[in-house]
């Protein structure tokens, strides 16, 4: 289908919305794409080919889905809003490789969708559940190769931030433990209808074959990380002392830091993932 006839043409989107008398729901994070340059950038960043299975989260009226259907082998799109299902039946009627499922992605058995075969996740995500969706995928057992998503720019910056920067935090470390982040594009509010209040970005997370660091006790590693960033202006030792969710001993952390030749007044925000991992291993002994 030519670009001008696709939903990325704002006129086509307006026609469909009027035809179905569709009301945007803020509670579902509905901001639909109306820019073919952006849909192209997403498809390119996701590196989709005819052999690929693609899971799309939240197809909306099918704007990105039309491009995915042309680039991929098979597309399954999971949409929570039942009002959009008849719309999608019409806008995707020309594609025989797309299946739409009317479900909440957070309640979906994702791995059963492609019968255990590998797949790529591509989406313009509903921003209110960006972190649970991404962390659910990263921590889960499903066989995805990569996640290429439109998210809030501020969240994308946090995902790829390194130590000592203001954006660095528990999300950066969790994402980088499992994946290699790549910022593919910044996207301004005028590429959507309605316009979101914040800037957006397309980020690709390529799953690492093995987590970036090997640790004896993952739970302890992420407990330490959470403790460190719960009170990021405090020293790591004081943050750990105040952290009640896990029993991490301040004295043992102090001893381990000394052994690692790290200043005991260091803040968690200055530690690399490798240092957190080493510290966690020393504490688990
Ligand atoms: N993909 C479309 C586009 O780019 O124009 C729409 C993107 S819009 C930002 C997010 C979509 O996710 C909406 O269609 C919304 O209804 C859907 N959505 C919101 N929460 C969801 C959930 N828990 N599970 C599945 N879809 C959801």
- Ligand 1 pocket check for 124: Cβ under 6 Å: yes
Distance CA 12, CA 34 (A): 9
pLDDT digits (tens, 9 = 90+) for 11-43: 999 999 999 999 999 999 999 999 999 999 999
Question: Can you point out the beta strands (E) in the chain?
Answer: 32-33, 53-57, 74-79, 98-102, 119-124, 144-152, 179-187, 192-193, 200-207
Q: What local confidence, expressed as pLDDT, does residue 187 receive?
A: 98
Does the pLDDT at position 242 exceed 90?
Answer: no
Q: 249 CA distance to ligand 1 centroid (A)?
A: 43
- Ligand 1 pocket check for 33: Cβ under 6 Å: yes
Task: Show Cβ contacts of residue 1 under 8 Å, excluding neighbours closer than 6 positions.
Answer: 66, 70, 94
Q: Give the tokens for residue 38.
A: 């952006």
Closest by Cα among 118, 23, 124 to 79? 124
Q: 21 CA distance to ligand 1 centroid (A)?
A: 18
What percent of the chain has a predicted confidence (pLDDT) above 70?
100
Q: 23 CA distance to ligand 1 centroid (A)?
A: 14
Q: What local confidence, expressed as pLDDT, does residue 110 receive?
A: 92
Contact 77, 99 (CB under 8 A): yes
Q: Give the tokens for residue 184.
A: 């593919």
* pLDDT class of 142 with cuts at 50, 70, 90: confident
């Amino acid at each position: 289908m030519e670009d001008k006839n696709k939903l990325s043409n704002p006129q086509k989107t307006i026609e469909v919305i009027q035809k179905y008398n569709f009301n945007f729901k803020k509670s579902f994070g509905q901001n639909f794409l109306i820019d073919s340059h952006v849909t192209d950038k997403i498809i390119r960043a996701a590196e989709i080919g005819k052999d690929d299975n693609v899971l799309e989260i939240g197809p909306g009226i099918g704007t990105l889905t039309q491009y995915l259907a042309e680039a991929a082998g098979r597309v399954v799109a999971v949409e929570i809003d039942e009002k959009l299902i008849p719309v999608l039946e019409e806008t995707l009627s020309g594609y025989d490789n797309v299946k739409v499922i009317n479900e909440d992605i957070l309640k979906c058995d994702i791995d059963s969708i492609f019968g255990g075969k590998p797949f790529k996740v591509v989406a313009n995500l509903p921003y209110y559940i960006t972190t649970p969706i991404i962390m659910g995928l990263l921590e889960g057992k499903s066989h995805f190769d990569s996640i290429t998503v439109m998210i809030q720019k501020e969240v994308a910056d946090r995902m790829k931030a390194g130590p000592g920067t203001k954006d660095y935090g528990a999300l950066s470390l969790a994402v980088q433990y499992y994946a290699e982040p790549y910022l593919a594009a910044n996207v301004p509010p005028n590429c959507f209808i309605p316009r979101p209040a914040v800037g957006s970005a397309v980020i690709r997370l390529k799953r690492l074959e093995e987590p970036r660091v090997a640790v004896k006790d993952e739970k302890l590693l992420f407990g330490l990380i959470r403790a460190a960033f719960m009170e990021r202006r405090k020293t790591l030792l004081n943050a750990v002392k105040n952290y009640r969710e896990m029993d991490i001993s301040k004295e043992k952390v102090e001893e381990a830091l000394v052994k690692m030749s790290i200043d005991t007044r260091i803040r968690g925000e200055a530690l690399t993932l490798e240092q957190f991992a080493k510290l966690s291993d020393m504490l688990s002994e």
